[in-house]
């Protein structure tokens, strides 16, 4: 069930992300992210949140024997997509371990 929810969020977020990128282009999308003080504040908030997620991913991946660097780099480059794909990979691994344990 968790995997289905994560996949659903990835698909919906992909569609929501594609709209402004198609409308403004990637550089226009990034430029509009810092266009005024309100959008700049949201951008900084997301940078802080992504940083916290990266710290968590680093420790969680180490604890669970998962690759860290690809997902950290992916998160730095693509924001929430990196952490969402990490969560999906993590859930597949944890489910597989639970099946093998039973």
What digits encode the pLDDT tens for the residues 41-58?
Answer: 988 999 999 999 999 999
Answer for the pair 73, 63: CB distance below 8 angstroms, yes or no: no
Task: Please state the domain count of the chain.
Answer: 1
Residues spanned by the domain of 20 = 2-101
pLDDT of residue 59: 97
pTM of structure: 0.87
Minimum mean pLDDT among 5-19, 27-41, 59-73, 79-93: which range? 27-41
Does the pLDDT at position 102 exceed 80?
no
What digits encode the pLDDT tens for the residues 17-38?
Answer: 999 889 988 888 878 878 888 8
Number of alpha carbons in the 13 Å side-chain half-sphere of residue 50: 19
Q: Provide the 10 A C-beta neighbour count for residue 61.
A: 19
């Amino acid at each position: 069930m968790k995997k289905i929810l994560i996949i659903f969020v990835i698909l919906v977020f992909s569609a929501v992300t594609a709209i402004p990128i198609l409308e403004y282009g990637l550089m226009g999308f990034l430029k509009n992210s810092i266009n005024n003080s309100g959008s700049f504040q949201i951008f900084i908030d997301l940078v802080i949140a992504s940083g916290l997620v990266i710290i968590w991913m680093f420790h969680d991946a180490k604890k669970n024997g998962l690759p860290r660097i690809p997902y950290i780099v992916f998160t730095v480059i693509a924001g929430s997509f990196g952490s969402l794909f990490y969560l999906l990979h993590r859930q597949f691994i944890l489910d597989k371990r639970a099946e093998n344990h039973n």
